[in-house]
Structure 1
Amino acid sequence: MMTQLLKGEKMNKAVRLNELRLYINRVRKFKVDDLAKEFNVSRRTILRDLEELSILGVPLISEVGANGGYQVLEEKNLLAVSFTKEETFSIFFALLSLKHFISLPFESEYNSIIKKFYLNLNGKMKDEIDLIKNKIDFKIDNQSKESPLLKELFLAAIANEPLWISYLGVKREIQPLGLFSQYGRWYCPSYCYLRKEFRLFRCDRISEIRSSERIDKIKLKETTLNEIINSLITKKEYELIVELTPEGVEKYKSTVPQNYHISLDDNGYGVVKGSISETEIDFFADFFMQMGEYAKVVEPMELRTEIKNKIMRLSDIYL
């Protein structure tokens, strides 16, 4: 046991706190005097250490009485890992790379991790980390709007659970495969039950999520995320231009999160501009068809053709 090897010599605080975590995680119940003897420090030092561990998130409760002491509540919250100086630098390097994202799947937890990790460093290491923060930075271009539902999408992917989503105001039933970020935008590759194939959904366009009661869900745990991503992101990007009547402008604003720029003239007519991928042609054909005569797709031609094909198929049904 490392504590036995280090007895008789002075542990630095960071090492002692880490060894204290390991020890109390193993014994689960303990007394302050026993810890003081085990770590060859004063009772006051152990009390200060326990207070700091509690601040860092280790769930401790005290028990009164003759047989009282302390008890650890939940093992899952304990960090039983020590890091070298270089490992510590690399962890903060990775954390710094995330700070400019306007949305993260676990944003509050991310901030909590940085705070706890920083508090657990000794004074010299904190000074060096502060130096790192002033020597390196990351900039993320082309960031889209916030994606507030990243956590829910991620947890659904982990649990292999289908969801109902509202995608630009249109309901879709999907089964998320995971998340990935490119050029500051978050994407959720998912199996679309309507089209019976994998589709790429931009997370900032998802405004609502609710659970699906679907029983015949597909098994995605063996599906490789990178393979699906590579097959989807290689699809061509198109420039989107759509002309809206004044009624179309109002309809668009009332049903769709504002993911595209709309320019308006003095008479209230509008033009929507943006970009869409090849995998979204089918979706946007359905979307703009619902707006009827209030919307006219100018570009891309592929979207215009898909809308015409859908109209022809509908007309054949009602012949």
Structure 2
Amino acid sequence: MSKGKRLLEILLYATTKKRFTAQEIADEFNISIRTVHRYILDLSDMGLPITAEQGRNGGYSVITNNLLPPLLFTNEEAVSIFFAFQSLRFYRNLPFDTEIHAVTHKLYRSLQQDAKRKVDKLQSYIAFWSPVRPVDTPLLRDVLEHCIENREMTIQYESKSGINTKHLRPIGIYAHNGLWYMPALDYLKEKVLLYRVDRIVSILSTEENNDPFMNLEEWFSSKQEERAIRFHVILSMEGVRECKSDPFFDGMVVTNKDGTGYIDSVIDKGNIRFIAPFFYRMGHHARILEPRELIHELCLQAQEILNFYQNGD
């Protein structure tokens, strides 16, 4: 058996056992004690955090259990994983930003030369694009950890009315169009509201809460069932082009033979205020038929602009 294969087997054994003696390794792999010590030094040089314990009951210990044993991938599997990580690079902030960069670097280094050439070439022809937002989200990782740990949060939150203190039970976080959002139960308003994580100024205090509560997957399901409304829009040729260029609407557009089109789908009612500016900019290239709430929002925005210029000096 080659030395490399033997080292791999001992590495798997060591990371699984966590604590072992040289004699146990020798018996397991039918090698001499001297060879075991040499292999342990080799593994230590490779980065495995092994410490030697002296005395009658001495042996070796793996200092941390945060290391995973080696995983074997085909070139195609490795390339697909690499590009899954690459799909996140347009986000200004990520919960585990440093770790993702480290994993991507390690993965690329582990690829064979033909796979590296394929990755280098593909990066010139494919991208998972999302608009890069010029806003920082410094508390993103803290917020995620509080969600995972089922902790209530008292935060300072910046909204249109200024900075307010809010007591929340977070459900989770999700990314959309380059921004991070947190649905949470607002105890004062007694309902679940959506908050932008980048607008959380500070976390004042936290408190563990073990009472049963919905997770993000359950919230998405309930939101879709309870708040779904019809979304019906007639589009000009330019309207079709604009909607197809937006990831949120692209899959909804139906194109007619003459290049015009329409959208007749279902959206969440909570998205109305987010999509209203998009259709306001499109002007006469999109005629909203439903929902009435979206039409009302567009009329309000138009009236605000009209009042602004009519009342201006």
Same fold (TM over 0.5): yes
Deviation readout 1:193-233 (Å, 9 max, x if unpaired): 11111100011111111333486966234971322564495
Aligned partner (choices 15, 22, 29) of residue 38 of structure 1:
29
Q: Deviations over 1:58-113 (max 9, x none)?
A: 43223457976532123243245333333222211111111221001122222233
Contact 1:144/1:184 (CA < 8 Å) preserved in 2?
Answer: no
Match of residue 68, structure 2, among 67, 75, 78: 78
Secondary structure of the 2:154 match is: strand
2:17 matched residue in structure 1: 27
In the TM superposition, what are the counterparts of 1:29-68 in structure 2 within 5 Å? 29-31=20-22, 34=25, 38=29, 47-52=41-46, 54=47, 58-63=48-53
CA contact (8 A) 1:186 1:202 kept: yes
> How do 1:185-264 residues align onto structure 2 when only pairs under 5 Å count?
185-213=179-207, 219-221=213-215, 224-227=218-221, 230=224, 231=227, 234-235=269-270, 236-237=272-273
CA distance in 2 between counterparts of 1:20 and 1:71 reads 13
Contact 2:15 2:67 in 1 (8 A): no
Residue type at the aligned position of 1:157: C
C-alpha distance in 1 between matches for 2:146 and 2:77: 31
2:29 is aligned with what amino acid?
E
- In structure 2, which of residues 141, 153, 157 is the aligned counterpart of residue 163 of structure 1? 153
CA distance in 2, matches of 1:31, 1:129: 42
The residue correspondences of 1:173-192 to structure 2 (distance < 5 A) are 173-192=167-186
Is the 1:187–1:200 contact (alpha carbons within 8 Å) kept by the matching residues of 2? yes
1:91 aligns with 2:86: no
Q: Compute the displacement of 1:18 (Å).
A: 5.2
Does structure 2 conserve the Cα–Cα contact (< 8 Å) formed by 1:190 and 1:199?
yes
Give the AA of the match of 1:237.
R
Unaligned 5+ runs, structure 1: 1-7, 241-277, 279-297, 303-319
1:158 is displaced (CA, Å) by: 1.1
Percent sequence identity over aligned pairs: 28
Kept in 1: contact 2:154–2:166 (CA 8 A): yes
Q: What's 1:254 paired with?
A: none
Name the stretch that deviates more: 146-155 or 75-84.
75-84
TM superposition score normalised by structure 1: 0.58
Q: 1:187 to 1:122 in 2, by over 3 A?
A: same
Q: Partners in 2 of 1:214 and 1:37 — Cα distance? A: 46
SS of the aligned residue for 1:212 comes to: strand
Please list, as runs of the form range in 1=range in 2, the aligned pairs for 1:264-275 lying within 5 A after superposition.
none
Report if the CA contact (8 A) 1:30-1:69 is conserved.
Answer: yes
Q: Quick check: 1:21–1:78 contact (8 Å CA) kept in 2?
A: no
The 5 Å alignment of 1:100-115 reads: 100-115=90-105
CA distance in 2 between counterparts of 1:130 and 1:17 reads: 31
**1:160 and 1:220 in contact (8 A); partners too:** no
Do the aligned partners of 1:179 and 1:189 also contact (CA within 8 Å) in 2?
A: yes
Q: What 5-or-longer segments of structure 2 have no aligned partner?
A: 229-267, 278-292, 294-299, 305-313
Mapped pair 1:140 → 2:175: no
1:215/1:140 CA distance change after superposition, 3 Å: closer
How many residue pairs get aligned? The number is 232
Counterpart code for 1:51 = D
Q: Quickly say closer, same or farther: Cα 1:221–1:138, change in 2 above 3 A.
A: closer
Distance (whole Å) between structure 1 residues aligned to residue 78 and residue 24 of structure 2: 32
Task: State the partner residue of 1:151.
Answer: 141
Look up the equivalent residue of 1:104 and give its one-letter code.
L
Name the CA distance, whole Å, in 2 between partners of 1:174 and 1:165.
Answer: 8
Instruction: Quote how far apart the aligned CAs of 1:48 are.
Output: 3.6
Summarize deviations over 1:233-258 as a string: whole Å, max 9, x none.
53211779xxxxxxxxxxxxxxxxxx
